[in-house]
Structure 1
Amino acid sequence: MIFTIPIGWLQLVRQKVRFCVALTGITFIAVLMFIQLGFQDALYTSATQLHDNLQGDLFIISNQYQSLTLHQSFSRWYLYQILGVDDVESVSPLYMQFAKLKNSETGLKSPIYVLGIDPCDDSLKLSIAQEALSLLQLPNMVLFDRISRPGFGPIAEDFDQGKSVIVELFNYASSVGYKVKVAGLFSLGPSFGVDGNLIVSASTFFQIFTDRSGQNVDIGLIKLKPDANPQKVLTNITVKLPKDVIVITHQDFINLEKKYWQLRAPVGFVFQVMVIMVFIVGVVVVHQILYSNIASHLTEYATLKAMGFKNQYLLIAVFHQSLILAFFGYIPGFAISLGLYDVAKGATNLPINMSIDKASLVLTFITLMCFASGFICTNKLRNVDPADVF
């Protein structure tokens, strides 16, 4: 059996410098795609990481709800009504609002997201020491997110060293600070709209936000009995409640948040447009590479055509080149992106991670990009006439 080296490969490697330059261009496009998709995925993952860590089968929210970072509340009385529905085991209120935390070293005040919970309720999936949750029941105690961005000062470091950490919070509606003590740490992480997080008891929450009323709840967590049918219970609850609130499942709650960042938030639109633009730029770059290669070998192509080779053979040679460029350009792009993901994750504390889905998607994009460019370039080969060349 004789192994035949594809003509497309021979043409590409004949001019090694040009081949390396071509691969560099495709590698750059692959890296751009990985970066865009990485940050886009981090946007949705970070925006819904609190949702993922809420213990609830169903959730009740205001019908004006758009995003966690936007203030929407409803009457707490609705939670008491839900308790009367069959198969509902318990309900828990969740309070949320931005405050400003003063950096003890620089004096700068940075926005931080404050979550008010009942420490006795198992409303969060976060790994929090039982001792810290017990301390949270005391007045003026808080839990600090150790993955928060560094603008808040060395709070986590000081706490790990056994120091007594007291921080000062400021309500946006007041210039008077409120001092609280860090009772423990947890790991949640920032997002595109939140730099850091605090967990406090409901009583401490209303001491910080004196303008808030305990009668207004931001999110209601509904836990069902083990054998309950969530969809059936959801329907029963919806019938009992007025139209100013809605009840949704856990997954629908997550999807609602993603939809906001995809369609309403400007940053989501920008990421989608940038992915499309990178693809278009990639098509143009690969087209120029293939077109230049075809032009430099036009005599050889014309000779093959004069010898009786059909257009199909020549077109396959071009598509071979497209596939070779896609594959050998993707590999270094993937490797470089792994390093850039680590750098970006360390700098932003965002969940920027490589995944099989992301790697497969970029490989598909790169392959389609090269094939699209190859298809455009084949017009020149279809029309080439040996008589005109010679």
Structure 2
Amino acid sequence: MSWLLRRLFGRLPIGWLQLTHNRTRFAAALAGVAFANVLVFVQLGIMNSMAAATLRPYEFFQADLMISAEDANAFNEGGNVARQWLLQAMADPDVTDGMGLFLGNVPWDRATKDITFATFGVDPAHPAFLASDIAADASLLQVQDAAMLDRLARGLARNEAAAIRPQSPLSFETQGRTLTAYATFAGGGGFGGDGYMLVSDQTFLALFPARSSNAPDHILLTLRPGADPSQVIARLKTLISDPSLRIRSYADAAQEDLRYQQTRRPTGIIFGFGVLIGVLVGLVIVYQVLSTDVADHLREYATFKAMGYAPRFFLGIVLEEALVLGIMGFIPGLIVGTAILTLMGAITTLPLTMTPFMAISVFLGTILFSALSGAIATRRLAAADPADLF
């Protein structure tokens, strides 16, 4: 390492030699930087998993536009939408098809582990609104009380899910009815439920007798090829007689849901503050180490200053120490952070993974806050008078 730093800086690696002079303190400093990295990795991983879980149900469907109630800030929130707006929307020449979408939570009380499915009621006669892997089995939902289960749901054994097929369906009791799962799809547990389930709209209404077929949660629309969604939205806002409805492109609805979860929901704000706290912890740790090192070698620095060395020389030494701490502390932080996210992902079935973007972002952030800590630590040297130090 000493040889590499000598080649990199073109001088004796004073910063490295000062850090490694006290190996115990050097190891403690690296552990502190690694801990800050682990904290940031875990918080970022949870934030990313929340984003993935928020967008995941949107991936089950295909649509160009979505009509929702005024208070529908998220996919699973808000009031119902009258089906008559679907009929009015179909009057637009660019709207080719539409489907009402029903949402509700269905519990499955099991002897091993209770499961809560975020359940979607769809019209099996409109498979074009479903993702391709789900649309292939959509005809199975035409049978009353038929269902498609999320094979990645928490509490559902993988071998049990793998055995579900039309020839060997799985029946279970819920909401006072017997549902039969004939197929599965890939979903995964989220923050609001253990997994997902798809049923026909008629089966959904049988599970929720208080709901009406004339009041779905959302209305999905498809447009003719080449149609401009923004122009269609503008026309629909004048065509539909309820001005309070939220008429958006399907992609915009997903992004608005994500922003809502990240900036207005308590969980998103808490995770964001967790990342900030991790950065501040790393900043304080590196600053404390460098400040202590500067104080311990203040006489040596004063000698250099009296010999005429410029302030950038001292800044270079302290920045060298900061970079060493940042880089060498990042490596164990990356290893431990990846292990923790992998373990958490296996236990919770949330999409908790270490991504290249996360690794690069945290690495650059570590170098940045290390350099910032070093720059702050050298302020004491700039104000020091060599004559006062002897």
Q: Aligned partners of 2:223, 2:23: CA distance in 1, in Å?
A: 66
**Structure 1 residue 169 corresponds to structure 2 residue 174:** yes
Displacement of 1:111 = 2.8
| Residue number among 6, 25, 28 corresponding to 1:18 in the alignment | 25
Q: Aligned partners of 1:252, 1:380: CA distance in 2, in Å?
A: 51
Aligned pairs for 1:56-71 (under 5 A) are: 56-71=63-78
After superposition, the Cα gap between the structure-2 partners of 1:161 and 1:94, relative to the gap in structure 1 and judged at 3 Å, is: closer
CA contact (8 A) 1:52 1:254 kept: no
Letter in 2 for 1:142: A
| Residue number among 121, 133, 142 corresponding to 1:116 in the alignment | 121
CA contact (8 A) 1:167 1:181 kept: yes
Q: Aligned partners of 1:352, 1:197: CA distance in 2, in Å?
A: 18
Q: Aligned partners of 2:116, 2:343: CA distance in 1, in Å?
A: 24
Displacement of 1:39 = 0.2
> Corresponding residue for 1:173?
none
CA contact (8 A) 1:315 1:381 kept: no
Deviations 1:219-245 (A, max 9, x none): 111111111111111111121112131
Displacement of 1:126 = 5.4
Letter in 1 for 2:186: S
> Corresponding residue for 1:79?
86
> Corresponding residue for 2:3?
none
> Corresponding residue for 2:54?
47
Q: Aligned partners of 1:308, 1:386: CA distance in 2, in Å?
A: 11
Q: Aligned partners of 1:154, 1:194: CA distance in 2, in Å?
A: 21
Letter in 1 for 2:233: L
Displacement of 1:167 = 1.0
CA contact (8 A) 1:51 1:253 kept: no
**Structure 1 residue 219 corresponds to structure 2 residue 226:** no
Aligned pairs for 1:340-379 (under 5 A) are: 340-379=340-379
Q: Aligned partners of 1:120, 1:29: CA distance in 2, in Å?
A: 53
Letter in 1 for 2:30: L
Q: Aligned partners of 1:157, 1:139: CA distance in 2, in Å?
A: 23
Letter in 1 for 2:54: A
Displacement of 1:361 = 2.1
Q: What SS class does the counterpart of residue 75 from structure 1 fall into?
A: coil
**Structure 1 residue 313 corresponds to structure 2 residue 318:** no
> Corresponding residue for 2:196?
197
Q: Aligned partners of 1:299, 1:48: CA distance in 2, in Å?
A: 58
Q: Aligned partners of 1:42, 1:333: CA distance in 2, in Å?
A: 19
After superposition, the Cα gap between the structure-2 partners of 1:244 and 1:278, relative to the gap in structure 1 and judged at 3 Å, is: same
5+ unaligned residues in a row in structure 2: which ranges?
1-5
> Corresponding residue for 1:149?
154
Displacement of 1:376 = 2.1
Q: Aligned partners of 1:357, 1:164: CA distance in 2, in Å?
A: 41
Q: How many residues align?
A: 381
**Structure 1 residue 27 corresponds to structure 2 residue 26:** no
Q: Aligned partners of 2:116, 2:74: CA distance in 1, in Å?
A: 17
Displacement of 1:147 = 1.0
> Corresponding residue for 2:228?
229
5+ unaligned residues in a row in structure 1: which ranges?
171-176
Letter in 2 for 1:143: M
Q: Aligned partners of 1:54, 1:10: CA distance in 2, in Å?
A: 60
Q: Aligned partners of 1:275, 1:134: CA distance in 2, in Å?
A: 46
Q: What SS class does the counterpart of residue 263 from structure 2 fall into?
A: helix
Deviations 1:251-293 (A, max 9, x none): 2101221122123321111111111122222211111111121
Q: Aligned partners of 1:80, 1:366: CA distance in 2, in Å?
A: 56
CA contact (8 A) 1:126 1:187 kept: no
TM-score scaled by structure 1?
0.91
Deviations 1:15-54 (A, max 9, x none): 3332222111111111110110110111121011111332
Letter in 1 for 2:25: R
Q: Aligned partners of 1:158, 1:19: CA distance in 2, in Å?
A: 55
CA contact (8 A) 2:105 2:117 kept: yes
> Corresponding residue for 2:134?
128
Displacement of 1:201 = 0.6
After superposition, the Cα gap between the structure-2 partners of 1:215 and 1:152, relative to the gap in structure 1 and judged at 3 Å, is: farther
Query: Over aligned residue pairs, what C-alpha RMSD do you find?
Result: 2.2
CA contact (8 A) 1:49 1:188 kept: yes
Deviations 1:333-358 (A, max 9, x none): 12222222221111111112222332
Q: What SS class does the counterpart of residue 236 from structure 1 fall into?
A: helix
Q: Aligned partners of 2:318, 2:265: CA distance in 1, in Å?
A: 42
Displacement of 1:164 = 4.0
TM-score scaled by structure 2?
0.91
> Corresponding residue for 1:138?
143
Larger deviation, residues 80-89 vs 2-11: 2-11
Q: Aligned partners of 1:248, 1:271: CA distance in 2, in Å?
A: 28
Letter in 2 for 1:298: L
Q: Aligned partners of 1:283, 1:162: CA distance in 2, in Å?
A: 60
Identity %: 30
Displacement of 1:199 = 0.3
Q: Aligned partners of 1:68, 1:88: CA distance in 2, in Å?
A: 22
